[in-house]
Structure 1
Amino acid sequence: MLEHPAAAPPLSSAGVLIAGVDEAGRGPLAGPLAVAAVILDSTRPISGLNDSKKLSAAKREALYPQIIERALAWCVILIEPDEIDRLNIFQATMTGMSRAVVGLTPAAHEALIDGNKLPKDLPCAGRAIVGGDALEPSISAASILAKVSRDRLMVAMDALHPGYGFAVHKGYPTPAHLAALQQLGPCPQHRRSFAPVRLLLDQARLF
């Protein structure tokens, strides 16, 4: 799933476009992985950018529309649970990062990737930056878009799959989520390859 990139103004031939790339949702047992890429506009700065995990939900929601409005380009990709199960979470993350960068219009000349690994099929040069979501504003912006996009989806998913508490824990393996899994069993949004879900499915096959 691809959210529409923002319309970008014409660029000068001398402009070097650097995209920040980050993800949200590697650890949850349910729901998609969200990956975002953002090219910021240096002429339209955004105050308060930081690692999304260090910001309150209210602050992330306030920054989200500013990033959408002021960025030269942005793209959010969702990797659904079935693809995560097929690829594994690491490969799904690498795939999502490449897709997010490919989805940018205009295209980036370089991608700054949060973490210590680079996707092999990036469409441009790339640099991996450990802790980049707190160091590079473009990665911070990407982390916010990914986190807000995913959290909104998990809130909506709570109404489709009631009883699991998705609106509260966003699919992470909290005690309440694990208890609901035991009681209700997995729903279509659960990641079958993740240990707690796989164990329940294996037990169901046995009995």
Structure 2
Amino acid sequence: MAPRAAGLTTPAFVEHWRTTHSVAAGRIPGLRRYTQFHPVLVDGRLPLPYPGFDACSLLQFDSLETMDAGFSSDVYRDEVMPNEAVLVDKSRFSLFLGDARISSGIPGGTVVLVTLLRRHPALSAEEFSAALDGPWSAWSGGHEQYVSVGTGRGGRQTDVADAVDVRAFDDPGQALTWLTDEEQGVATDVAMAGLGLVVGRVLARTFQVV
């Protein structure tokens, strides 16, 4: 997750990200899945508060070792990094490293609501993980969760969140209605009170690269 580089408009940023950058990043060795979350605009504007980033991508590998090898490869160093330099502001780059919990996979072209959650300080990582299996996870559509790997990440950047939740909707209007409905999204957030804190949300459309 990173803000776009200075001088790039949102449309120009998304076009470069979807084309030139996706071709380079899609060639990282060991990459099993690569999904970009393109921001959805309503009446030309973001419908939710700016989350602190413009680029938000999901890259999946079979293991941490495979991931580390991919990001140490010539492809990443010689092709992806130079492209990132003109696309995003890497000085304000954030990341999240987690294990996948996929209830129902979300295909490309789908409208999604991406929620970043921080574990409440009163909870252990194990208690927080269990809470994510409760009412928060009840969902009938496409749904993917990613929970921070937590300990054992020596030398790696600290995660921007403790969990990331991705839910699929038919269209942006349905997502926004769900989010503000007292018996739907609001009730779901209330169920997490004292367990998890929402630290950011983005309404996006998935673009499947790999």
In the superposition, the TM-score normalised over structure 1's length comes to 0.26
Larger Rg: 1
More helix by share: 1
Taking structure 2 as the reference length, the TM-score comes to: 0.26
